[in-house]
Structure 1
Amino acid sequence: MVYHEEVFRRKSEFGGSIEVICGSMFSGKTEELIRRLSRARIAKLKVEIFSPKADTRYGEEAIISHNANKITSTPVDSAAAILLLASDAHVIGVDEAQFFDEGLPEVCTLLANRGIRVIVAGLDMDFKGRPFGPMPAIMAIAESVTKLQAVCVRCGNSALYSYRLVPDEAKILLGEKESYEPRCRVCYNSKA
């Protein structure tokens, strides 16, 4: 453990980082977040994972991918709560970042400035194809952005968009395959 503490101390001297994993629904964002966090745990780093308390699709104390992989998380009401709960973590994971308040970019910056590796996953666009929540601001300040693509269920091409299947204009509508499907640009714009 001494070796890992020394490595973390040296990394902290150079600052932390912000990584973003984004894309449409069903593109594998949570799966990739779980993979990165699991690797950090294998490296014996202290990992903390946070999710918005409002997102209860899979349970309250875990993030679960569509492939049923899961990792324990702490649900929080606001981005500021992450600062209070992330005291001695080496790596912080944030899932469903689009549902957090506009304070999340500042929280990510403060954590990275403390030498912490921050990994944020979320939708980059809402169902109308517009930038979603704090994601654009986090992407702008991140050292790396990984944009994943799903498979368009209409034509099989790469899908960038989360097409809403139900007639509801609310910006936030929690749902799964009954409410959304991934579509490429052409199929998304066809609205059929």
Structure 2
Amino acid sequence: MIKSSKDTRYAVDSVVTHDGLKFPCWALPDLMSFPLRLGKEAYEKLDVIGIDEAQFFEDLYDFCCKAADEDGKTVIVAGLDGDYMRRRFGSVLEVVPLADTVTKLTARCELCGKKAFFTFRKTQEKETELIGGADVYMPVCRQHYVSGHGVIEAAKTVLESPKIENEANLLAASAI
């Protein structure tokens, strides 16, 4: 099992589920270095290679082509296909045409229990890569994804309005 070295949430040398189950792994910055790090003999003995957090590997496509097509490995790829803005995330979608089978898993919406196809970011950070767990992200259905972003935009508009700023200054002045 390989995971991105960017994922340091729970353990450096393990893939850890949200329930706390651990599975040992290699934490690497790239995939192409895996055969060398593992060793040629050990790599040749492998039948299956698992990749977790695949969206963080820039060399995902090249590695999957080489491992599956040239080296005869079964490669199991797990990762996000979309980011919190519902845009393509990393190169996970690029390996779909290479796959024998594709299984898209879903969580349950934390607000209503329906299938959650989307990820809602609870924080204000804007960068695409923000590694976090339940403290930063929440699985949501389409309805709650769309309405949640609508609520956030409305709150920003209210908080950034001149009236709020003037009232805040007035309150500050009356407290002096």
For structure 1, which runs of at least 5 residues remain unmatched after alignment? Answer: 1-48
Aligned to 1:62: 14
Please list, as runs of the form range in 1=range in 2, the aligned pairs for 1:71-90 lying within 5 A after superposition.
Answer: 71-85=23-37, 87-88=43-44, 89-90=46-47
Q: Structure 1 length as normaliser, TM-score?
A: 0.71
Aligned position for 1:12: none
Choose which of 147, 157, 163 in structure 1 pairs with 2:114.
157
Within-5 A mapping of 1:104-183: 104-113=60-69, 114-183=71-140
Taking the aligned partners of 2:25 and 2:101, their CA distance within structure 1 comes to: 23
- Give the CA deviation at 1:82: 2.4
Secondary structure, counterpart of 1:106 in structure 2? helix
| AA partner of residue 112 (structure 1) | A
Aligned equivalents of 1:105, 1:80: Cα separation in 2: 10
- Report SS of the residue matched to 1:57: coil
Find the aligned partners of 2:97 and 2:87 in 1 and give their Cα distance: 16
Secondary structure of the residue aligned to 1:174 is: coil
* Residue type at the aligned position of 1:134: S
In structure 2, the gaps of 5 or more residues are 152-176
Please give the alpha-carbon distance, in whole angstroms, between the structure 2 residues aligned to 1:180 and 1:135.
19
Between Structure 1 and Structure 2, the one with more helix by share is 2
Higher strand fraction (1 or 2): 1
In the alignment, is the contact (CA less than 8 A) between 1:163 and 1:181 conserved in 2? yes
**TM-score with structure 2 setting the length:** 0.77
Whole-angstrom CA distance in 1 between matches of 2:9 and 2:73: 28
Equivalent pairs, count: 143
Flag the structure with larger Rg.
Answer: 2
Q: Distance in 2 between matches of 1:82 and 1:130?
A: 29
Aligned to 1:51, what secondary structure does the other structure show? strand
CA contact (8 A) 1:83 1:107 kept: no
